[in-house]
């Protein structure tokens, strides 16, 4: 009865560093062949445990600037001293294949995406408290004390931008957070503005039986603007 757009969703996930975005996304992607993470390019150093092509494509600052010149990015930004950018091609290709694509990017990048892609969905992941954010950043053991303070200051500014997002999820219990993000992605698939066509087969016997003699029967399909 309804034909929906086959293009995949674009889900933009932001939130303070240490809120748990990466952890949540990995869980959302598990056993979900229809969703893909867009791997960004960065000029920041690889962290222990991270993998080239999985977490990021790691390049020097010069190489990154070269890619900007080449028009390789959909958006890019400098965050706490390092460049981060979203490669253009992957997103378009996957969405056209009907796959959902998740972007994990900071708020300026998300603002730029908003201007460029009008059907993108924006989710903000919040830490449950400042204390817990500090604990998570320290426990992750990936940043120096100085960098943690910088990320904390940035987080303080970022949280004021939450109202620009469509959804906010507080990442307290991980399992619950993952369920909420999956539920948002599922609900978005049912949006009326994704409908391409509504059709009624007026030859269907049941329709005749139920409606043919009543004033309700209209022998045409509803129109979609
Ligand atoms: P981000 O990608 O937002 O910077 P991470 O996914 O790296 O954050 O998570 C930061 C730290 O917090 C990691 O050590 C991760 O294991 C931990 N973490 C993430 N979500 C939760 C949660 N719901 N409860 C407790 N710890 C969490
Ligand atoms: P991290 O160094 O912790 O991996 O990332 C730092 C910040 O950069 C995070 O807020 C992350 O979401 C953001 N980020 C990662 N990739 C991109 C990107 O391609 N573009 C933008 N604008 N931000 C990104």
Query: Is 100 near ligand 2, meaning CB less than 6 Å away?
Result: no
This prediction's pTM: 0.89
Mutating to test ligand 2, I would choose from 21, 105, 148, 165 the residue with most ligand atoms within 8 A of its C-beta, which is 105
Domains, in order of start, for the chain: 2-211 (3.40.50.300)
Q: Which pLDDT score is estimated for 186?
A: 94
Q: Which pLDDT score is estimated for 225?
A: 59
Identify the H or E element spanning 69.
helix 61-70
Residue of 6, 1, 13, 59 whose CA lies nearest to 38: 13
Distance 17 CA to ligand 2 centre (A): 9
Residue of 17, 45, 199 whose CA lies nearest to 106: 17
- Counting ligands in written order, the one closest to the CA of 150 is 2
Q: Which pLDDT score is estimated for 201?
A: 67
Q: Which pLDDT score is estimated for 220?
A: 59
Atom of ligand 1 nearest to the CA of 17: 4
Are the C-beta atoms of residues 212 and 203 closer than 8 Å to each other? no
Q: What 3-state class would DSSP assign to 77?
A: strand
- For the chain (length 225 residues), average pLDDT per consecutive 10? 85 95 96 93 93 96 97 94 95 95 96 95 97 91 85 90 96 98 95 81 71 62 58
Q: Which pLDDT score is estimated for 221?
A: 57
* Distance between start and end Cα atoms, the chain: 17
Q: Which pLDDT score is estimated for 178?
A: 97
Are the C-beta atoms of residues 45 and 58 closer than 8 Å to each other? yes
Query: Is 106 near ligand 2, meaning CB less than 6 Å away?
Result: yes
Q: Which pLDDT score is estimated for 126?
A: 97
């Amino acid at each position: 009865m309804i034909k929906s757009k086959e293009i995949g969703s674009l889900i933009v996930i932001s939130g303070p560093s240490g809120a748990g975005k990466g952890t949540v996304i990995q869980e959302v992607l598990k056993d979900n062949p229809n969703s893909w993470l867009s791997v960004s390019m960065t000029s920041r150093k690889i962290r222990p445990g991270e993998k080239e092509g999985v977490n990021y494509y790691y390049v020097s600052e010069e190489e990154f600037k070269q890619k900007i010149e080449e028009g390789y990015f959909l958006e890019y930004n400098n965050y706490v001293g390092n460049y981060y950018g979203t490669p253009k091609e992957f997103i378009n290709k996957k969405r056209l294949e009907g796959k959902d694509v998740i972007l994990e990017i900071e708020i300026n990048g998300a603002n730029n995406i908003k201007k460029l892609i009008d059907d993108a969905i924006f989710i903000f992941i919040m830490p449950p408290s400042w204390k817990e954010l500090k604990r998570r950043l320290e426990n992750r053991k990936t940043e120096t004390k100085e960098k943690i303070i910088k990320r904390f200051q940035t987080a303080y500014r970022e949280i004021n931008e939450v109202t620009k997002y469509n959804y906010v999820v507080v990442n307290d219990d991980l399992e619950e957070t993952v369920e909420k993000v999956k539920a948002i992605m599922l609900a978005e698939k049912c949006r009326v503005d994704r409908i391409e066509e509504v059709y009624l087969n007026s030859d269907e016997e049941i329709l005749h039986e139920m409606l043919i003699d009543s004033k309700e029967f209209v022998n045409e399909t509803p129109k979609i603007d």
